[in-house]
Amino acid sequence: MPDRTGSQDASAPPGRPGPAAGSARDAASIWLRPTLSGRGPAPAFDRERLADAGVRLADAEGLAAVTMRAVARSLGSAPASLYRYVTTREELLELMIDRAAGEVRFDGLGSGDWLDDLRTLAHRSREVQLRHPWLPEATASGSPLGPHTVAYLEHALAALAPVPVPARTKLEAVGVLQSVVGSLTRAERARRTDGGTLARWQRADREFLARTVAAGEHPHVAAAVTAAGGGVPQHGEGEAGAAAGEDGAGTAVGAGDEDPAQIFDRIVTRVLSGLLGPEGRG
C-alpha cells in the first residue's frame, strides 16, 4: 500500500481491489467513507483503536516503525484485518495525526486578543508535538484534515474573526503557524535528545562564526550578531574569543540558556505579527 511518499507497504494483500467506483467508499477522504461495509464478520476494531495503536507504536519506536503489519501485530491480529478500516498506511497516519490533534485543548480562548489566542494555540500544539516526536515528521508535507484538525482550524479562525484581512490571508497565516510550530518543536526535540553531539556542533559553529566575522569580510553578519547581543571580537581576537566561547559571535547563535518556551513564543509572535501586519493589531 502506498505510504506518504508513494512507496508500497509490504504487508498489503497483493492485488487487493480498491473501493467500487461511485460508491460511498470511493470518497477521497477517509472521514467521508463509512467506517465499515455492511458485509463480513462483526468488526474486531474501530478507527480509534487503530489510531491509538499506531500512536503508541510511533511514540515508542518512531514513525518508520508504523506499518500495517506492525500495528496489526500489536493488536494481536493479521494485517488483512486492518484493511476493513483503512486502505493504505497513509490513511492510518491520517487517523494518528487527527488522534494527536484531539489532545490540543481549547479552554481559555476567547480573550478578545487574536494574537494572545493564537499564541495559546501554538503553545498547546507545541506541547502535543513534544509528547509525540513523530508528529512534525508526519505533518511535514501538510496536515490532512480530520474532525480534530478542523476543530483546531475553527478555533484559530474564531480568534482571527475581528482581524480586517481577507479570509485567504487568515487561512494562510494558520497554515504558516502550524509549519512554524512543527519546525520549532523538531529543533527543540533535537536539542533535548542530541546531547553532546549538538553541543559539539554549536561550539564548532561559534568558533567558525567568530573567526569569520573577526576577519572583517562579512560586516552585515557581524552587525547582526552584535545587535543580537553576541558581541563580535575585533580583528585578531577571534581565535581566543571562539575558543573560550565568550564575547564571541557564537554567543548569540543558538547557544544561550534561554527557556525554549520563551524562544518559541518570541518567534511565533514575530511570525504572526509579520503575516497579519498592523491591520491585525489595529
Amino acid letter, residue 246:
E
Take residue 201 and report the three cell numbers written for it. Answer: 556542533
Q: What is the pLDDT of residue 277?
A: 74
Cell of 88: 493504505
pLDDT of residue 254: 44
Q: Which pLDDT score is estimated for 37?
A: 47
The per-residue pLDDT for 236 is 37
Report the sign of the C-alpha dihedral through residues 220, 223, 224, 230, in that order. Answer: positive
At 83 the pLDDT is 87
Global pTM value: 0.72
pLDDT in tens, the chain (282 residues): 333 433 444 444 443 434 433 444 556 788 988 876 445 555 567 899 999 999 999 999 999 999 999 999 999 998 888 888 898 999 999 999 999 999 999 999 999 999 999 999 999 999 999 999 999 889 887 778 899 999 999 999 999 999 999 999 999 999 999 999 999 998 888 877 665 565 676 677 778 877 877 888 888 888 887 776 655 444 333 443 333 333 333 333 444 567 889 999 999 999 999 998 765 444
How crowded is residue 136: how many other Cβ atoms within 10 Å of its Cβ? 21
Taken in order 85, 89, 91, 96, the sign of the CA dihedral is positive
What integer pLDDT is reported at residue 229 of this predicted model?
61
**pLDDT at residue 54, as a whole number:** 97
Angle of CA points 262, 266, 272, to nearest 5°: 140
Element (H, E) at 119: helix 114-131
Instruction: Give dist(CA 96, CA 99) in Å, integer.
Output: 5
Looking at residue 244, its pLDDT comes to: 33
* Cβ atoms < 10 Å from Cβ of 155: 19
Q: Which three cell numbers stand for residue 67?
A: 506499518
3-state helix, strand, coil in the chain (%, to 5): 60, 0, 40
User: For residue 216, is it left (φ>0), alpha (ψ between -120 and 50) or beta?
Assistant: left
Q: What is the pLDDT of residue 202?
A: 66
Please report the pLDDT score of residue 29 as a whole number.
84
Query: Residue 257's pLDDT is what?
Result: 60
Q: Please state, in angstroms and rounded to a whole number, the distance separating the CA atoms of residues 89 and 281.
A: 43
